Structure 1
Amino acid sequence: MICVPIVEESVEKALISAERALEVADIVEFRVDYFKEIREEDIVEIAKYPSIITIRAHWEGGKYRGSDDKRIELYKVAIENNVRYIDVELKEKRNRELVDFRDNVNSKTKIVISYHNFKETPSYNKLLDIVNKELQIGDIGKFATMVNNNRDILNVLRVIQEFEGKVIGIGMGKKGKLTRILGTYFGSILTFASMENKSSAPGQIDVEMLKEIYRLISES
């Protein structure tokens, strides 16, 4: 599954970009933290699309600097409207609250618990520990770590394979591009690809280029 991040400053532009992205991708990620203004009615609208809703906190590399209470309430609106996925950080102290809320309102939303490291890729055992902690909370574990060498690539792919079908694994940066191509072959639920030179993390491959790579692989 290919996911295109939508990184626009308004919901109007985000919806236009999402329509275009869904012509070539399976799902989109609305990076709501990029919005200059975030309203509950906007969450209701974007939840109608096959999407991940992410309101990434600034302390995890995102742009959201509003109150944590507001962020949690916006996530709850997304859950009430049965968005396909929400992405909330492992470091977020209230992530279990969102899971409990989802269960209490009988929502179909799957909750992704995520870890990001923009400097390095932790060791294989450390990554295993991180994903295990994520899966003790949410439905899907996610990690996105900076790849600095070939060993990092192997560790990312090994951990994906260990949690096949339960994880989203990403190696960031130029050296991490191989993980974006091969991750889904090893069991990552999805990979992220950019569109129109708009990306949400370093190393994302253009969606059309990624699809061509997959085509060439499948035909070889």
Structure 2
Amino acid sequence: MKIVVSVSSFDEALKALNVADVIEFRFDLFEGFNDLFNNLDNLDSFEFEGINKINKPKIVTIRREVDGGKYKGDETLRIEMLKKLSSHADYIDLESDLDDDAFKVKCKIIESYHNFKETPSYEELKNMVESKRGDIFKIATVGNKRDLEKLVKILCNYEDVVAFLMGKDFAFSRILATFLGSPLIYCHYGRAVAEGQINAVDARKILEILGVKE
């Protein structure tokens, strides 16, 4: 189990190094990102050294608005940016509804599914996981205790799955998932990028007390 700290700037990434096992660059939250990358040519002048100076595993994410992110640009351009950035990352986050061509990247893949309306049935979740194209499958949904039972069942039956309910009321589900084999827990270090995210320092203390090992 690794603690992932989601960051919205290079400075934040450097500050999080002492508590994070993995850094997730949420480039859709970087200041000026949407304006800078209105065409792919601008990527040539991007500060790749900001990524490369991070000496820990890195996840690159450009989250769409429909999935809770801030990216507002062209979808084809977003995929091309992710492919280029994959040369500088250990993992790229790709949504489960993308076509196979998007998954042709130069690093490992976290295939993600976000749903801000509901949690699908267990059978639907099962089919998603069994047909995954990434190395890790991430499920983040909203729901109730019965929906949490579905995610627990998924975590018990499948490996390399991250699954939790979003929102403050179910922040504990992120901790629970680590007990059930989730390889990653997404945290923040000062500013949450998603409701229900736990501070990385607090998460590490809780996991140590509960005996959850890396």
TM-score by length of structure 1 reads 0.82
CA drift at 1:175: 2.9
What letter is aligned with 1:112? Answer: I
The 8 Å contact of residues 94 and 103 in structure 2, kept in 1 or not, is answered as no
- Rounded to whole Å, the distance in 2 between the matches of 1:43 and 1:159 is 39
CA-CA distance at 1:43 after TM superposition: 6.4
**Residue equivalent to 2:96:** 90
Amino acid corresponding to residue 113 of structure 1 in structure 2: E
Q: How does 1:74-153 map to 2 (within 5 A)?
A: 74-81=81-88, 83-93=89-99, 96-100=100-104, 102=105, 107=106, 109-133=107-131, 135=132, 137-148=133-144, 150-153=145-148
Q: Secondary structure at the match of 2:196?
A: coil
| % identity of equivalent residues | 37
Q: 1:62 to 1:213 in 2, by over 3 A?
A: same
The answer for the alignment partner of 1:67 in structure 2 is 74
1:163 equivalent in structure 2: 158
- 1:33 is displaced (CA, Å) by 0.9
Amino acid at match of 1:170: F
Deviation of 1:55 after TM superposition, in Å, equals 0.6
* Match status 1:15 vs 2:10: yes
Picking from 45, 63, 78, the partner of 1:56 is 63
Contact 2:148 2:164 in 1 (8 A): no
Q: TM-score, normalising length from structure 2?
A: 0.84
Q: Over the residues paired in the alignment, what is the CA RMSD in angstroms?
A: 1.9
Q: Deviations over 1:18-49 (max 9, x none)?
A: 11112101011111111223452436334423
SS in 1 for 2:46: helix
Instruction: Determine the C-alpha separation between the residues in 2 that align with 1:45 and 1:21.
Output: 17
* CA deviations over 1:92-151 (Å, ceiling 9, x no partner): 23xx21333x3xxxx3x1011111011222222221122223x1x222211101132x22
Tell whether the 8 Å contact from 1:115 to 1:143 is kept in structure 2 after alignment.
Answer: yes
Q: In 1, are the aligned partners of 2:25 and 2:61 still within 8 Å (CA)?
A: yes
How many angstroms apart in 2 are the aligned matches of 1:130 and 1:163?
A: 11
Higher relative contact order by CA 8 Å / sep ≥ 6: 1 or 2?
A: 2
Q: CA deviation at 1:217?
A: 1.1
What residue identity is the alignment partner of 1:32?
F
